[in-house]
Amino acid sequence: MLARQVSPFLSPHRSSLKIVHVGDFFFSLKKRAPSQFSVGGKLSHGLIRNGHHVIDVSYRDVARAGGWFGSRKWGRRYLIRALKEFISASAPDLLLLGHGYMIPPFVIEEIRRQQPGMLVAQWNIDALFVEDNARDFAARHHVVDASFISTAGAAARKLVGPNGFVGFLPNPVDHTVERGRNFEYASLPYDVFYSCGNPARLRCVCGREWEMNDFCSTLEERLPQAVSFAYAGVRGQPYLSGPAYRNVLESSAMGLNISRRADHFLYSSDRLAQMVGNGQLVLMERKSGYDALFSENEMFFFESFEELTEGIRYFHTRPKIRQAVARAGWMRYHELFNEQAVADYMLRSILGTLREEDYPWRHIANHR
């Protein structure tokens, strides 16, 4: 069992906080939703395991339940009314908002006036280079006490301005959610896993714009036929969720982690945690900046298409080395970014009780 870093907040008056967590969790009314690996669910796990009373509010599902014909759009007023009533009835210490842009800034201000003394924070794992996300994140930053975003460095601070706390949010891993131990096996059904929500959307990989069907077909052409690929949402394969997605994650030796861009420091989709958490050897672009947190003995970093193909070929023919690197990356990621550590870092940042020496990775994350 991995050592868990636990430092739950203790106030002079009580040993735990009551937290209303608004976001997406492990259940969703939306079909094909990959909710079984949701960041919101893992963060709630971490907060609860650190000793806090957490009440999950699945805002999209509340809106669907209150909207005409199950429409989230038509259920927005119902959601806002229900949330206000519940906050009044539950009197939480903290309102934690995960995405939730159906709850606009003026509503957050109304809730704060209704519940004086309650802290409010937001978290977001979408990219800041997406214009709508950046705009909405910045707008809510001005009405909350703290903001967390899965892009590190100066980008978030530049976006939101000089005031208020803004911190890097690592994609958390949870040993009860990511249960695979792929590094234990010299042979698995697939060599390389890659998932893509929209392959037609161009991605910049090693300085070149790629349509991802073309990228994958070119990668296959450059590699021996013996190298097998597990695809989800690309190369004619369906987008996967639920047990089908989990099975592919747990059946692949290596995971290709490609975001739409690699030039936003430490940004990655939450698939990074899903891949490394299931024991895959992660392959990712060095430009992402993750080589500042992980060594060459824990992940494989590439700077060119040719270096990527060479790396896949190398680890494909050397399973023991692949297993060792994947195991080391799995251990390191769990040490740094397990759900309890990430939840504790967030909560103590919100409360202002984080010490200078706590979570040293955050100083690297804020460096650029």
**Whole-number pLDDT of residue 73:** 78
**CATH pick for 182-336 out of 3.20.20.70, 3.40.50.11660, 3.30.70.360, 1.10.287.890:** 3.40.50.11660
The residue type found at 36 is: Q
- What's the CATH code, domain 18-172+339-365? 3.40.50.2000
**Whole-number pLDDT of residue 7:** 41
Give me the residue spans of the domains in the chain: 18-172+339-365, 182-336
**Whole-number pLDDT of residue 37:** 92
Taking a C-beta distance cutoff of 8 angstroms, is the pair 19, 87 a contact?
Answer: no
Which parts of the chain sit beneath pLDDT 50?
A: 1-12
DSSP state of 288: G
Sign of CA dihedral 288, 205, 156, 196: negative
Q: What global pTM score does this model have? A: 0.93
Q: What is the mean pLDDT of the chain?
A: 92
**80-136 confidence digits (pLDDT tens):** 999 999 999 999 999 999 987 889 999 999 999 999 999 999 999 999 999 999 999
Taking a C-beta distance cutoff of 8 angstroms, is the pair 284, 272 a contact?
Answer: yes
Query: Other C-beta atoms within 10 Å of 7: how many?
Result: 17
Burial class (CB within 10 angstroms; exposed 0-12, middle 13-18, buried 19+) of 85: exposed
Q: How far is CA 75 from CA 67, 72, 79, 83, 228, in A?
A: 4, 5, 6, 12, 45
Q: Which two tokens stand for residue 355?
A: 């010490």
**310-341 confidence digits (pLDDT tens):** 999 999 999 999 999 999 999 999 999 999 99
List Cβ<8 Å contacts ≥24 apart for 61-66. Answer: 61/27, 61/28, 61/29, 63/102, 64/29, 64/30, 65/29
Domains 18-172+339-365 and 182-336 share a fold: yes
**Whole-number pLDDT of residue 305:** 97
Query: Other C-beta atoms within 10 Å of 303: how many?
Result: 12
Taking a C-beta distance cutoff of 8 angstroms, is the pair 166, 157 a contact?
Answer: yes
The continuous run of DSSP H or E covering 281 comes out as strand 281-285
